[in-house]
Structure 1
Amino acid sequence: MISESAASPSRSSIQPSTSLADPPLPVDATVRPAGHPGSGLSAALWDFDGTLADTEPIWIAAEFELIPRLGGQWSHEHAHKLVGRSLLESAGYMADVIGRDDLRPEWIVDQLLQVVIDFCRRGPIPWCPGARELLESLRLAGVPCALVSASYRSLLDVIIEQLPAGSFAASVAGDEVSRGKPDPEPYLTACGKLGVQAQDCVAFEDSPPGARSAGDAGATVVVIENVVPVPAAPNQVRVSSLAELDAAAVFGLLRRDGDDAH
């Protein structure tokens, strides 16, 4: 078994399901004025893992590489329980499963993050189908977007650097909030950065904790199921892929007071 001083696991077995190669572009950190005339939509809020990019297989592969090095056994059932959860919570669960209470969750997070960051730096990023196109459509329509993720800032910065300038007006990382998803704090924090109200926003999510976080914040949640099923809720719209949407379609998804769920 390895200790906290051992080397990080390699990423040799990690294979994304999709990929799209694009050169890195500079980041535009300027927050554009929120809102789109006549649409009622103030902003679009994006989850990262499994929604913007198909990184869940990367995380799962990293778990399967790390756990045996720690002397434990791992399964896809275990891995699926971590989808959408905070990294520290996930690390604590991993330590419990393998009976390693001598390992700090923070150290486990560092090991997993290093594998995923290394992969994303080498690229290409496995963007989810339609994600980049929808981001561009919203940008051209003047709708500000925020990235709201359980992943840490060190990973989000790598991702944002590989997107066109102005794709995201703000971002919130998992290590920048006191309560992660499913608590609404991450989405409320993003809305605060943009100067908008959550009820005037749509949020794109693929996991139960993320959908609950966005919904409890007050946003209309666009669910794109990926690895695990997402329970139905009154403030949800479901699509099979982001490729089904453009800015015009998103304008029509905003939940109105008294509207029934789609």
Structure 2
Amino acid sequence: MDGTLLDSEKLWDVAVYELAEYLGGTMTREVRVSLIGSSGPNALQTMFTALNLDPAPAAIADAGSWLEARITALFMEGIPWRPGAQDALEMVAQSGLPMALVTNTKRALTEYSLDTVGRHYFSATVCGDEVPHGKPHPGVYLRAAELLGLEPMNCLAIEDSPTGTIAAETAGCGVMVVPCEIPVPAGPGRVFRDTLIGLKVADLHIALRGNGS
């Protein structure tokens, strides 16, 4: 969702840099990049470590609440699409292929994003706070495949980050990578595109075959 369908990472940039200031520190670009694709709990732990703060449960919970309130306010102002994403969703829907939204974002925030994306496109949605461990753990993708009634090897994930790509691969899915904010290394079976503009059903089948399926 973030960085693949919606250009929301730039909104997360605002919220995360402001959170660092709220916590009395300064966020470096290097630390910010390391957070992209991380689950909420992992991101907060990384921030506290980088800012030399005590990651006491109460402090983490307060930071999480502050961040959720800020990003919610930003989301409600409107979330821009990634290039070609809206047309790609419509193309896949018209083809009859089932889709699941798989995100590390927690459910409460995902619901705001679905108002932009269109929840009607998805047969299932799986959020980072609905599995024991978020990406790069494969749990979100394994759960999505289960809800779709498919084996992971017959599913193609479209990802923008190294964290998400690892999660999908570990689950056994094929992966089409459309990088957004940070580069994703090449790897066996990974199919890369610069953008979702012009995506066709045939491209999806080719990418899935890259996984040996």
TM bin, normalised by shorter chain, reads over 0.9
Which residue is 1:122 aligned to? 77
The yes-or-no answer on 1:112 pairing with 2:67 is yes
Which residue is 2:2 aligned to? 49
Closer/same/farther in 2, CA of residues 81 and 136 from structure 1, 3 Å limit: same
Which residue is 1:160 aligned to? 114
Shift of residue 164 of structure 1? 3.7
Distance in 1 separating the partners of 2:127 and 2:114: 12
Distance in 1 separating the partners of 2:210 and 2:202: 17
Shift of residue 165 of structure 1? 5.4
- Equivalent residue pairs, number: 211
Q: Secondary structure at the match of 1:229?
A: coil
Which residue is 2:92 aligned to? 138
Distance in 2 separating the partners of 1:251 and 1:173: 26
Tell me the percent identity: 36
- Rg comparison, structure with higher value: 1
Q: Is the 1:188–1:198 Cα contact (8 Å) retained in structure 2? A: yes
- Could you say what the CA RMSD is over the residues aligned between the two structures, in angstroms? 1.7
Shift of residue 226 of structure 1? 1.3
The yes-or-no answer on 1:201 pairing with 2:155 is yes
Closer/same/farther in 2, CA of residues 122 and 100 from structure 1, 3 Å limit: same
Which residue is 2:184 aligned to? 230
Q: Is the 1:88–1:106 Cα contact (8 Å) retained in structure 2? A: no
Q: Secondary structure at the match of 2:117?
A: coil
Name the aligned partner's letter for residue 50 of structure 2.
V
Distance in 2 separating the partners of 1:53 and 1:246: 19
Distance in 1 separating the partners of 2:145 and 2:68: 26
Shift of residue 252 of structure 1? 2.9
Q: Is the 2:189–2:211 Cα contact (8 Å) retained in structure 1? A: no
Distance in 1 separating the partners of 2:120 and 2:46: 37
- Taking structure 2 as the reference length, the TM-score comes to 0.93
> Which of the pair is proportionally richer in helix?
2
Aligned counterpart for 2:172 among listed residues 218, 221, 225:
218
Shift of residue 257 of structure 1? 6.5
Q: Is the 1:59–1:112 Cα contact (8 Å) retained in structure 2? A: no
Distance in 1 separating the partners of 2:65 and 2:200: 36
Q: Is the 1:191–1:197 Cα contact (8 Å) retained in structure 2? A: yes
Unpaired segments ≥5 residues, structure 1: 1-47
Distance in 2 separating the partners of 1:169 and 1:257: 23
The yes-or-no answer on 1:253 pairing with 2:189 is no
Aligned counterpart for 1:87 among listed residues 40, 50, 58:
40
RCO higher in 1 or 2 (8 Å CA, sep ≥ 6)? 1
- Taking structure 1 as the reference length, the TM-score comes to 0.76
Shift of residue 105 of structure 1? 2.4
Distance in 1 separating the partners of 2:61 and 2:92: 36
